[in-house]
Amino acid sequence: MSAVPVVVLVGPMGVGKSTVGQLLAERLGVGYRDTDEDIVAAEGRTIAEIFVDEGEPVFRAIEKRAVQRALAEHDGVLSLGGGSILDADTRALLAGHRVLYLSMDVEEAVKRTGLNAARPLLAVNPRKQWRELMEARRSLYEEVATAVVATDSRTPEEVTQVALDSLELKEA
């Protein structure tokens, strides 16, 4: 099966890719898919468990394959795990796709993800870890994005509306 997603969502963990992605899919009348969910379903364990059991490099290899597969199979809205853009092949694969980068600032990030133990990369010192993470990743998100929507102080519904407008997507 060969398909092209209507839009691919990228951005840091906790920014609302799943919530906004599902709202976007509803408004566009298409399906929603999330590579984190694909990985959990295929592996039969949580992302945190994969990190703990096997370490980040193994997770990234699993993630890379999951992204390749989803990009080739899914014709609706697709959300990628926050770190998937660290891989150069994945970034190259995103060229030519409609890619929406959902962004947020550090205080918003700590508010949304700070105490969430399911997010292994922010478990110890959320504010510092967040800053370091974004310093390493911001330019990569920008590199793959064809549109950027800031989520700070916006509800998921507002973000969805701004996204539809800036991507010039027609509703179902």
Does 16 participate in binding ligand S3P (rule CB under 6 A)? no
Say how many C-beta atoms besides its own lie within 10 A of residue 142's C-beta.
13
| DSSP, residue by residue, the chain | -----SEEEE--TTSSHHHHHHHHHHHHT--EEEHHHHHHHHHTS-HHHHHHHH-HHHHHHHHHHHHHHHHHH--SEEEPPTTGGGSHHHHHHHTTS-EEEEE--HHHHHHHHTT-TT-GGGSS-HHHHHHHHHHHHHHHHHHH-SEEEE-TT--HHHHHHHHHHHHTPPP-
Does 33 participate in binding ligand S3P (rule CB under 6 A)? no
Residue nearest to ligand S3P as judged by C-beta position: 83
Known binding residue 144? Answer is: no
Does 36 participate in binding ligand S3P (rule CB under 6 A)? yes
One character per residue 76-115, x = contact with ligand S3P (rule: CB under 6 A):
-----xxx--------------------------------
Q: Judged by CB, which is closer to ligand S3P: 115, or 171?
A: 115
Say how many C-beta atoms besides its own lie within 10 A of residue 16's C-beta.
22
The contacts of residue 132 (CB under 8 Å, 6+ apart) are none
Q: Judged by CB, which is closer to ligand S3P: 25, or 121?
A: 121
Q: How far is the CB of 51 from ligand S3P (least distance, A)?
A: 7
Residue 30 CA to residue 16 CA, distance in Å, equals 18
Q: How many residues bind ligand S3P (CB under 6 A)?
A: 10
Known binding residue 60? Answer is: yes
Q: How far is the CB of 36 from ligand S3P (least distance, A)?
A: 5
Q: Judged by CB, which is closer to ligand S3P: 17, or 154?
A: 17
Does 13 participate in binding ligand S3P (rule CB under 6 A)? yes
As annotated, the binding site includes 14-19, 36, 60, 82, 119, 137, 154
Q: Which residues are annotated as a binding site for Mg(2+)?
A: 18
The footprint of ligand S3P (CB under 6 A) covers: 13, 17, 36, 47, 81-83, 119-121
